[in-house]
Amino acid sequence: MAAGDVVLGTNQYGKAEVRLVRVTRDTPVHEIEDLTVTTQLRGDFTACHTAGDNAHVVATDTQKNTVYAFARQHGVGSPERFLLRLARHFVDGFEQVTGGRFVADVHAWDRIAVDGQAHDHAFVRTGRETRRTVVHVDRDDVHVLSGFTGATVLKSTGSEFWGFPRDTYTTLPETKDRVLATSVTAWWRWADPDVDFDARYPVVRDLLLATFAQVHSLALQHTIYEMGRAVLESCADVAEVRLSCPNKHHVLVDLEPFGLDNPNEVFHAADRPYGLIEAALHREGDTPVPHVWASVPGFV
Ligand SMILES: O=c1[nH]c(=O)c2[nH]c(=O)[nH]c2[nH]1
């Protein structure tokens, strides 16, 4: 190869955001599982890029069909297991596939209550957080990230923010009692991919949110550090935690022009701009895996 020749670098491809709804109708009480699944394969796909030779290309349409067929054949269950099963299928079934990135979002539904009874087959989408998972496979090197996005939480007290530097451009008043609100995006990396994901997911999620509630916050940075620390201190199976939290500012409204006081009761819930507070936490001595996190977009 001559100097200056063009070289194909990292590449991956697949079907993005396959919308999958599986109804389990073994009994009159149906269950639904609603996921958005992305599969992206890595391996020897050079000839397709450089010469248009598709002999190695597992079509993205085939990948999509596999998602649906696996949902029928094996069920869905925990999104992590579902992705691990898909990843194994592609890596073991096609010599040219060495690994990939597999992502699933889980959309939660609740049963509609009719006369106080949960309906058998009518559901309403909940406003809960979206559970997420990314599976990263490189031959036998398997990493599973779990997490969620869109958990909107608020504390009406127990939050302070003061002691920050003041310069010509600082107008923000110091406060010993403010509203703290955010929409938590959390990811954690399992130390080992052999986990009872469905049992452990709510434990980690609840611990993160309970810590948000319990920490007397001196800054959102302080709160998210404590959230991550709580998980690493009590969950030996979690190796690393990453949190991304927009500070949903609640600004006290000046009611003085109307002859009214405002003792921390009436706020303008500002939309934009917002502070964006992000942190990654791991245990000392832990081996970092930046290539795995690189598959999670838009994160520290
Ligand atoms: O918790 C906070 N952290 C900041 O860094 C910050 N900056 C700001 O204006 N308000 C806040 N709040």
201 contacts 208 by C-beta, under 8 angstroms: no
DSSP H or E run through 144? strand 141-155
Any idea which residue has 């996921």 for tokens? Answer: 35
CA–CA distance from 178 to each of 16, 129, 217, 251 (Å)? 41, 24, 10, 9
Q: Which of 82, 124, 122 minimizes the C-alpha distance to 107? A: 124
Task: State yes or no: is 250 an active-site residue.
Answer: no
pLDDT of 299 over the 90 cut: no
pLDDT band at 232 (very low <50, low <70, confident <90, very high): very high
Question: For 127-154, what is each residue's pLDDT tens digit?
Answer: 889 999 999 999 999 999 999 999 999 9
pLDDT of 123 over the 80 cut: yes
CA of 218 to the centre of ligand 1 (A): 10
| Pocket test residue of 162, 164, 212 for ligand 1, highest count of atoms within 8 A of CB | 164
How would you classify residue 186: left for phi > 0, otherwise alpha for psi between -120 and 50, otherwise beta? beta
pLDDT band at 298 (very low <50, low <70, confident <90, very high): low
pLDDT of 300 over the 70 cut: no
Residue 276's DSSP bridge partners are 246
DSSP state, 26? S
DSSP H or E run through 86? helix 79-93
Residue 242's DSSP bridge partners are 187, 280
Nearest CA to ligand 1 atom 7: 275
Question: For 164-189, what is each residue's pLDDT tens digit?
Answer: 999 999 999 999 999 999 999 999 99
Predicted pLDDT at 286: 92
* Average pLDDT in the chain: 95
DSSP SS3 for 207: helix
pTM as predicted: 0.90
182 contacts 220 by C-beta, under 8 angstroms: yes
pLDDT band at 295 (very low <50, low <70, confident <90, very high): confident
* Ligand 1 contact, 160 CB (< 6 A): no
Any idea which residue has 């916050």 for tokens? Answer: 217
More confident residue, 186 or 1: 186
94-103 core/surface letters (b: 16 or more CB in 10 A; e: else): bebbbbbbbb
Question: For 56-111, what is each residue's pLDDT tens digit?
Answer: 999 999 999 999 999 999 999 999 999 999 999 999 999 999 999 999 999 999 99
pLDDT of 285 over the 90 cut: yes
Nearest CA to ligand 1 atom 8: 275
Predicted pLDDT at 127: 80
221 contacts 249 by C-beta, under 8 angstroms: no
pLDDT of 247 over the 80 cut: yes
Max alpha carbon distance in the chain (Å)?
Answer: 79
Catalytic residue (choose from 36, 60, 98, 130): 60
Question: For 7-57, what is each residue's pLDDT tens digit?
Answer: 999 999 999 999 999 999 999 999 999 999 999 999 999 999 999 999 999
* Ligand 1 contact, 83 CB (< 6 A): no
Q: Which of 20, 21, 17 minimizes the C-alpha distance to 123? A: 21
In percent, the amount of the chain with pLDDT more than 70 equals 99
Question: For 255-275, what is each residue's pLDDT tens digit?
Answer: 999 999 999 999 999 989 999
